[in-house]
Amino acid sequence: MKKYIGIIMMAAMLSLTACGQNIEETANNLTGDTTTAEDTTSVSATEETTEKSELQPATEAETTASETEPTTEAETEAATTVPETESTTEPATTAEETPTAKPNEIFALNGPLGRHQGVEEFDNAKFAASFGADSFTKNWDGTVTLTTMIYRYEMFSNDDIQALKVGDTIWCLGKAVVVEKLETLDSGLVIVNGGIENGGRCFRMEDGVYCESGMNNVHSYYEIGENTYTLSADFVFTDNSDMDNPKTYTAEELMSILTWDTHFVKSNTIVETTDGVVTAIVRNYIP
């Protein structure tokens, strides 16, 4: 009996020992699985973080960091290089290329340096004249002839005078006048270099053209030549030398008042001709 009881106790102890080993192995297995699970969880979390970082936009700090990264020289040149485009703006005209900026030379339409005029061109005209008492001759047939010097004043184009500017040269009676000062009055009078009083010139419009105007509006005259005319049958001499007492005379009356000291000068005397004969003489008052 005791023998059986001992065998049963040994079997029970062996059974407990086996159970303990099984429990330890089971615990070890459980521990290994936990580690694997933790490892798996860590890997999954890392992958998830990577995926989120790839999908989500960069943070402000990351963006700022990327913007502040140094730019290479090549990238800078590429960024600052502007493609060349064909300019549609015409180049500005320089002063030398502008005709109005160049000094001009202005010449009279007539005069010593202008078109030549002969006495034959004054058979139908009004012109300044100069003569004396001995210039008249009474002929045997009763007609009266007059030998007179013909004068003309220079005339300038409106366009030339109105476009006149400092630096231009204007030729007056064969003399060059360089424009250093220019003034245009409301009356239309154009004053060059301070006017007559300062050695300059003045120009005013008369009969549609500009002419040089001296003191008391007297023109600057030049000689055309001398010619002899017959006084017409209806000739009239108008004497305005006395502004308070103007008078008119026929050819016969004029011959009767002439004296040795009677003079007619170009600055106050105008002779008018028609078909080669003198029809009128006017003597004006000159201050």
Helix/strand/coil (H/E/C) assignment for every residue in the chain: CHHHHHHHHHHHHHHHHHHHHHHHHHHHHHHHHHHHHHHHHHHHHHHHHHHHHHHCCCCHHHHHHHHCCCCCHHHHHHHHCCCCCCCCCCCCCCCCCCHHHCCCEECCCECCCCECCCHHHHCCCEEEEEEEHHHEEECCCCCEEEEEEEEEECEECHHHHHCCCCCCEEEECCEEEECCCEEECCCCCEEECCCHHHCCEEEEEECCEEEEECHHHCECEEEEEEEEEEEEEEEEEEECCCCCCCEEECHHHHHHHCCCCCEECCCCEEEEEECCEEEEEEECCCC
Is pLDDT above 50 for 104?
yes
State which of 12, 39, 65 marks the end of a domain. Answer: 65
73 falls within a domain: no
With contact defined as beta carbons under 8 Å apart, do 115 and 109 qualify?
A: yes
Closest to 232 in 3D by CA, of 146, 117, 118:
146
Q: How far is CA 121 from CA 126, 135, 273, 278, in A?
A: 11, 21, 11, 14
Is pLDDT above 60 for 6?
no
State which of 36, 65, 94 marks the end of a domain. Answer: 65
| 201 and 261 share one domain | yes
| 2 and 108 share one domain | no
* pLDDT per residue as tens digits for the range 166-209: 999 999 988 999 999 999 999 889 999 999 889 899 999 988 89
| 126 and 263 share one domain | yes
10 pLDDT band, cuts 50/70/90, is: low
| 153 and 222 share one domain | yes
With contact defined as beta carbons under 8 Å apart, do 156 and 210 qualify?
A: yes
Residue, of 277 and 70, whose pLDDT is higher: 277
113 pLDDT band, cuts 50/70/90, is: low
Average pLDDT over residues 231-239: 96
83 falls within a domain: no
Neighbours of 179 (CB within 10 A): 19
91 falls within a domain: no
Residue, of 5 and 234, whose pLDDT is higher: 234
| 145 and 260 share one domain | yes
88 falls within a domain: no
201 falls within a domain: yes
| 126 and 3 share one domain | no
Structure tokens at 280: 């009128």
248 falls within a domain: yes
The model carries a pTM of: 0.59
| 58 and 115 share one domain | no
Is pLDDT above 80 for 281?
yes
Average pLDDT over residues 150-165: 93
State which of 65, 94, 121 marks the end of a domain. Answer: 65
271 falls within a domain: yes
| 111 and 167 share one domain | yes
Mean confidence (pLDDT) of the chain = 76
Query: How many domains does the chain contain in total?
Result: 2
**pLDDT value of position 11:** 57
| 122 and 224 share one domain | yes
Residue 254: give the domain boundaries: 103-287
Average pLDDT over residues 129-151: 95
93 falls within a domain: no
**pLDDT value of position 201:** 93
| 41 and 171 share one domain | no
**pLDDT value of position 262:** 87
| 151 and 281 share one domain | yes
| 185 and 247 share one domain | yes
